Amino acid sequence: MTYLVGGCVRDLLLGIHPKDFDIATNARPDEVKRTIHRAYIIGKRFRLVLVRRDEMQFEVATFRREVGADEVREDLPAGDNVFGTAEEDARRRDFTINGLFYDPIADQLIDYAEGLPDLEHRWVRMIGDPTVRLTEDPIRIMRALRLKHMIGFALDPELRKAMQDYASTLPTTALPRRREEILKWLRLKNPDLGFREAYDLGILKFVAPTLHAALERGGDEAEVFYSYLQQIPYGEEVPLSPGDLFGLLALAYMRAFLQSEPDAGPGTRSIFDNPAFQTWMRDELGMFKFEQTLTTKALHVEPLLAKRREFQRKGERRQRALLNNEAFPLALRFAISDYLLGCEDLLYWRQNYATVREQNPHAAEGARRKRRRTRPRRPRTGAPPANPNPTPRK
């Protein structure tokens, strides 16, 4: 028994091309691995099977069920690996429209969670009592908001009220999980609408209190911030990286609340030394250090793009240094958002950057590797032996 499940079924019914296809089965992970060629078991808390076919990969999960209150935890498998039936699996999912199963062999749609009526009436509704389900995992608050704006549905009134009532529990969740949801907000077609509603519902106050406080002042500054979010590219063939998305979000914050023009007001470095701005990036957004550094470099490079004539007078070596700068692509996106370049200048930078990348496609990666090699190393004297199987760095 094997079905397509979740978002891919929902999107197919809405006429949207799914980004990926999730599969659920009654076979255990070990059985799936033995049956399917090029299948790999991944995860510990939630064991599933990753299957690769050419450039695509599929996640195959075994049906799960909720653990009963009368069951002894010590006798159960570690993590979220308590297997069950298809119906039990459907009812433990988050939203009704994500609980649909499709059997491609029998061409049968299976709806255990009453998702079809909600799909027809365009409701985002929680499976079960919203107050209970949001208490179990407050990240569902951010997911519900994203789902609403991703497919253009309305929030069920009970779910909406529960989201407002339990928004204060979001800081108890892990920062990396909130980071991923913020990135998904930024990948929406209209990210400004998602952030507006997050503010209106009081969600942003507990996800990014620094940004909430800035928006709370209202006025033109808030509208400037939202206007920058509207310019975040959507639907590009090559999706923006997390560093690019966070960089554009940081640019929106800076232009709205700290420095309205690329070359006006306090210097870029003084802005990045601002404790509130640092806290927002590091502790609220969960930006990695290299992402913060990339944004800083891009802000330094951006004003140089407005000086094309001066750049053309420089020697070839200095020109290549700028075009090979790892922050150049993000700086160019900043310049577009700031309306800093005319059509002729924009075409010039794009053509020259493309030419340099064709000639030396690994220049930026080489610079990153070189920077990593120059980090101080632990003295050999008295140091423990190197780990022959180090954990890969993210």
pLDDT tens-digit profile, the chain (394 residues): 899 998 999 999 999 988 888 899 988 888 888 888 888 888 777 788 888 888 788 888 888 887 665 554 555 445 566 788 888 888 889 999 999 999 999 999 999 989 999 999 999 999 999 999 999 999 999 999 999 999 999 999 999 999 999 999 999 999 999 999 999 999 999 999 999 999 999 999 999 999 999 999 878 999 999 999 999 999 777 789 999 999 999 999 999 998 777 765 445 566 667 788 888 999 999 999 999 999 989 998 999 999 999 998 988 889 999 999 999 999 999 999 999 999 999 999 999 999 988 877 665 554 444 444 444 444 444 444 444 444 444 3
Q: What contacts 239, CB < 8 A, 6 or more positions away?
A: 187
The reply to whether 263 belongs to the active site is: no
Of 22, 192, 244, 338, which one is the catalytic site residue?
Answer: 22
Side chain identity, residue 221? E
Which DSSP symbol is given to 138?
T
Query: Tokens 């039936």 appear where?
Result: 85
Residues 11, 89, 94, 111: which is the catalytic one?
94
Contacting residues for 88 by C-beta, under 8 A, at least 6 apart: 63, 64, 65, 66
Closest to 203 in 3D by CA, of 144, 256, 260:
144
Query: Which residue in the list 20, 30, 129, 137 is annotated as catalytic?
Result: 20
Pair 23, 61: CB distance under 8 Å? yes
Tokens of 391: 């954990």
| Residue 22 annotated as catalytic | yes
- Of the candidates 378, 383, 385, 175, the one whose C-alpha atom is nearest the C-alpha of residue 286 is 175
Q: Report the SS3 class of residue 53.
A: strand
**Would you say 233 and 334 are in contact if contact means Cβ atoms under 8 Å apart?**
no
CATH superfamily of 1-121: Beta Polymerase, domain 2 (3.30.460.10)
Active site residue 94: yes
List all residues 6 or more positions away from 299 whose beta carbon is below 8 Å from its beta carbon: 251, 254, 262, 268, 331, 334
In single-letter form, the type of residue at position 352 comes to N
Asked if 253 and 277 count as a contact pair (C-beta separation under 8 A), the reply is yes
